[in-house]
Amino acid sequence: MNTSPATDDQRALWNGVAGHAWVDAQQVLDGMLQPFEDLLVDAVAAGAPLHVLDVGCGTGSSTLAMARRLGTDGRCTGIDISEPMIALARERAAVERSRAEFVCADAQTHAFAPAQFDRLISRFGVMFFDDPVRAFANLRRAARDGAELQCVVWRKAADNPFMTTAERAAAPLLPNLPPRTPGAPGQCSFADRDHVDGILRASSWGAVDIAPLDRPCALPTAALRRYVARLGPVGRVLHDTAEPLRSRVIDAVVAAFAPYVHGDEVRFVAACWMIRARATRRG
C-alpha cells in the first residue's frame, strides 16, 4: 500500500523512540490520563451488547477498561500503528485474561470488516492522521448505521501551557528542537473546532457535537524527571543528545515545571474537546 510521507513519519515515530517511551512510561501516562478514560468508559452501560473500537489505543488501558465494562456480552477491539505499544497491550490483556482484542495497523487505511462496530472511542488517538477525512470515512465504513463516535482530543497549545513548558524551557539550549507546525499531524491538529466539524461531516458523520472539556490531571513528582527526559518533542531530541548537555536540559526543564509541583504530585488542567458524532445512515 502506498503511504504519504506524513504517514511514514508517524509510523516511524510510534514504532521508534516515541512508541518505546510510551511503553516505558505506561503506568505514569495511564494514571495521568485516567479522567478521560473514565469519561469514555462510563458513557457505556455495563454489560451492553456492543462491539466497540478504540482508535489509537496505545498500550491498551482504555480498551481493557471498556472490555471490563462490557463484560461477556460485548467486545472491544483496539487499533494502533505502534507495534511496541500493541505488544504491551496484548501482554496486559493476557495477564488480565481479558476478551479485548488488539490490531496493529493504521486505522486510516486498515481494511475493517464493514458495519461491525456499534461505538467508536478514542482517548487522544485520532490527531495523527495525515488525511483525517480519509481516516474518518474509513472508520465510518467500519461502523454500523447510527453508531456513536466519542473522542477526546487536545485543544490548542496556548490553552495547555503545561504541554509546552518543556519546549519553552529547552529551546535556549536545544537550537535543533523542531517547532510545532500548525495543522500538521500531531498533538494539537484537532484544536480548531470548525476544522474538526468539517472533517466529520465530510466523512459521513452527523449529529456532530464538539464541546470544551477541562479536567484536572496529575502525575507523581518522582516521575517528572523521567517524564521530561523521554516524552514529547524534547524527549525525542534528548534521545540523541550527549552529556553534559542532556543533563543541563533536563535540569532546566524540571525547574520550569515548579509552578505545577504540589508536594508529591505534578498537577495541571488539560484543555480538550469532547467530540461526539453519529454514523449517518447509508443511502
Q: Which residue has the higher pLDDT, 184 or 88?
A: 88
Residue 197 lies in a domain: yes
| CATH code: domain of residue 38 | 3.40.50.150
What would the grid cell of residue 166 be?
518543556
Distance CA 164, CA 270 (A): 12
Residue 194 lies in a domain: yes
Residue 211 lies in a domain: yes
Residue ranges making up the domain that contains 47: 5-158+179-218+269-279
pLDDT score of 5 = 64
One-letter amino acid at 194 equals D
Across the range 203-219, mean pLDDT stands at 98
Residue 245 lies in a domain: no
Residue 22 lies in a domain: yes
Give 27's pLDDT tier (boundaries 50, 70, 90). Answer: very high
H or E segment to which residue 70 belongs:
helix 61-70
Q: What is the pLDDT of residues 228-248, one digit of tens each?
A: 999 999 999 999 999 999 999
Residue 249 lies in a domain: no
What does the DSSP 8-state code read for residue 272? E
Residue 237 lies in a domain: no
Q: Which is it for strands 143-154 and 265-279: parallel, antiparallel or unpaired? A: antiparallel
Distance CA 69, CA 186 (A): 30
Distance CA 30, CA 220 (A): 12
Give 209's pLDDT tier (boundaries 50, 70, 90). Answer: very high
Residue 212 lies in a domain: yes
One-letter amino acid at 11 equals R
The number of CA neighbours under 13 Å toward the Cβ of 263 is 0
DSSP character string of 23-54:
HHTHHHHHHHTHHHHHHHHHTS-TT---EEEE
Helices of type H across 120-192: 132-142, 161-170
What's the domain count of the chain? 1
The angle formed by the CA atoms of residues 212, 214 and 215, to the nearest 5 degrees, is: 150
Whole-model pTM? 0.95
Q: Which is it for strands 101-104 and 261-262: parallel, antiparallel or unpaired? A: unpaired
